[in-house]
A = this chain, B = another copy of it.
Amino acid sequence: MTTDAGSIVLGVGDADALFGEDAGAGSAEPLQIVDPHEAVVSPFDFAVTRGDGMFEATVVWDGYAVSLENHLKRLAHTAAMIDMPAPNLPAFERAVEQLVDEYADPERGPIMRILVSRGPDRATGIGAAAPDQPHVWMFLDAKAALHTDAPITMTTLSRGYTSDVAERAPWLLCGAKTLSYAVNQSAHRECARRGVDDSVFVTDDGYVLECPNATIVARYGDEFVTPDPSIGILHGTTQRELFAWARQEGKSFSYARRMPVERLREADALYMTHGGWVIPVRSLDGRDYAVDQVQADSINAAIHAGRTRADALGIGPDNA
């Protein structure tokens, strides 16, 4: 082990446990904890050769993995969309416990990432001879670029699609959280060129989608609104925690079947939500928005304390 031991905890998954049907009784622990400096990935892995796999990420606050159940449900949703085996969710929960058990750093909110590749690239000689099962790497990282709730500036960016793309071309994987994030990374570089912090993807016919690695939520008076995931975006995990907070505070929320970009710009306030953090937006496309830092702090504190957890599990477009 190295000086990072306890601050960066890396686990390599046992595919039989994490993707088997009856993981649990008598089986091995789902993760093997290894030195985070160890190279544990083959260059013949589908993650490397094709960006072919899926992932989730969240803050683990004082040992509590925020929105874990919803992250794992979304992982299962992505698995179904990309024709991968279904993850064994209790085994993944146990794997998260293993990471948390090994964690020993003063940082209260390290980030956790779950990376799952389709496995060995079957088109390579090494991959064709290896067991055809997913590969899993999970880590808890106190030294990562951690989120904060400092207000951000944003721009809209075209995603190049129209709003019906998810229905008519499901092979484009809109709404799947795959490891192929080159375009999302590119969008962040475009933001840097424009001198803003982040972006909101929009369709060519003028509707709001999502951010490159976050969800956008607008507030109008006491109502919080986000685009319905059926447009071909991820269902935000932190956004659901925010909606749960709204319900607890006697405010309302809704999923907009289609949200015109102009409607987003007319909001009283905007939040970008991801990884267990609700982040105030102070400008979008050059228009300024009021920032209620007290409200943001209050929401994040509720989320991190687990106060919104149970309610968030029941929130979705069908009951908004």
A positions within 8 Å CB-CB of B: 4, 7-8, 10, 36-53, 55, 82-83, 113, 115, 117, 122-126, 128-129, 137, 139, 141-145, 157-162, 165, 168-169, 171-174, 176, 178-187, 189-190, 204
Q: Which residue of B lies closest to A166 (CB)?
A: B160
Residues of B within 8 A of A48 (CB): 41, 45, 47-48, 115, 117, 137, 179
- Contact: B4 with A113, CB < 8 Å? no
Given the complex, which residues of B lie within 8 Å of A115, measured CB to CB? 43, 48-49
The residue of chain B having its C-beta at the shortest distance from the C-beta of A130 within the complex is B37
What is the CA–CA distance of A207 and B86 in the complex, to the nearest angstrom?
37
Cross-chain contact A182 with B183 (CB below 8 angstroms): no
Pair B171/A143 contact, Cβ less than 8 Å: no
Bound CA–CA A7/B115 (angstroms) = 30
Integer count of this chain's copies in the complex: 2
Given contacts A8-B126, A39-B41, A41-B41, 10 further A-B contacts (CB under 8 A): A39-B42, A40-B43, A49-B113, A49-B179, A50-B184, A51-B178, A124-B143, A160-B174, A171-B186, A176-B182
Which residue from chain B places its CB closest to the CB of A113 in the assembled complex?
Answer: B49
Residues of B with C-beta under 8 A to A145: 122-124, 128
A169 / chain B contacts, CB cutoff of 8 Å: 157-160
Contacts of A46 in B (CB 8 A): 185
- Interface contact B43-A10, CB-CB below 8 Å: yes
- Nearest chain B CB to A155 CB, angstrom units: 11
Contacts of A161 in B (CB 8 A): 160-161
Q: Is the CB of A185 within 8 A of B125?
A: no
State the CA gap A143–B127 with chains docked (Å): 10
- Contact (Cβ within 8 A) A159 B172: yes
- Residue of B with least CB distance to A146: B123
Sorted nearest first, the 9 A-B pairs with minimum C-beta distance are A51-B51, A125-B143, A180-B180, A180-B182, A41-B41, A43-B137, A178-B182, A171-B190, A50-B181
**Are B141's CB and A124's CB within 8 A?**
yes
